[in-house]
Amino acid sequence: MKTLEQIVALHRDEWKERSLEQQRLEIENNEAVARLYGLEDEVPSHVPLERVSLTNNSAFRWPNKTPEERDALFAQSSIVDLISYAVGCMFGRYSLDEPGLILGDQGATLEDYLTKIPNPRFMPDKDNVIPIVDGDWFEDDIVERFRLFLRTVFGEQHFEANLQFVIETLGLKNLRDYFIKAAGRGAVSKFYDDHLQRYKKRPIYWLFSSPKGSFNALIYMHRYAPSAVSAVLTYLREYVTKLESALQQAERVGNAKESDRLRKVLVELNEYEHDTLFPKASENIVIDLDDGVKANYPKFGGALKKIPGLEAASD
């Protein structure tokens, strides 16, 4: 089996060939029109590669970059696309075993998925909640699920090389930094920023997020059920319990800096539960996807990550 780096290179070369072929066809078309009207010497027929408007034509997407920079950007874009597809497989939106959309109806369940894909190579998440936190606190968090995806799709043989290629291509120190990374005023998620850009700020995956991003959990809106917020709350409480144990350990060994950090995180998470998540879980919120993301997303208030343009409950 080829490595992920080799597969991306083949994908890039295929699109280079397609782009050059499309350029040739457009030039021939211009020449034919010019001959028809006797304008061969008056109208230029050449079409620069940068104007061949194919989605994956690197020259069109990044016209002001060098060929080497375009190759690097193409690889990065391919990895971002791969991760997006992987998360789709985690939620059952897509499947490795069948092309196209698998779960796309409101209220879709894992049972619906298994009816369509009885023996999946990659099982979707059972409860439609995937935690995203800064550290290896959950066995089923998004980083572990993506690592399993890499192993399942590309095999164990090249797993470490493939993982390293993903990390280097994204320009990161480790994989988790793409999904969640501590920043000055709180944690940021490049993954979720990319998702919002992909869906033009109308996300299909919704991110429950504490005020400073110390706790995050992703759900798929098409699998949403009124009990979803309670499921997220269960993950939050489990995380708090683990952090309380970590705080006790830090205090025992005299790690004042880590103790102080954990206390601040616990204050944030306890306030998030008390003021926001628990009240929303008690509401058993019902949504109607026919109303659109803009109508449904604000129903969850501060429980979800704030997205500019989704504050109003209706258009």
- The pLDDT, as a whole number, for residue 313 is 44
- The pLDDT, as a whole number, for residue 314 is 40
- pLDDT per position as a tens digit, 44-69: 899 999 999 999 999 999 999 999 99
Axis crossing angle, helix 142-154 with helix 67-91, rounded to the nearest 10: 100
Count how many Cα atoms sit within 13 Å of the Cα of residue 274 in the half-sphere of its side chain: 7
Burial class (CB in 10 A: 0-12, 13-18, 19+), 123: middle
CA–CA separation, 17 and 279 (whole Å): 56
pLDDT of 182 strictly over 70: yes
- pLDDT per position as a tens digit, 65-119: 999 999 999 999 999 999 999 999 999 999 999 999 999 999 999 999 999 999 9
DSSP 15-75: HHHHHHHHHHHHHHHHHHHHHHTT-TTTS-----GGG---TT-HHHHSTTS-HHHHHHHHH
> Which pTM was predicted?
0.92
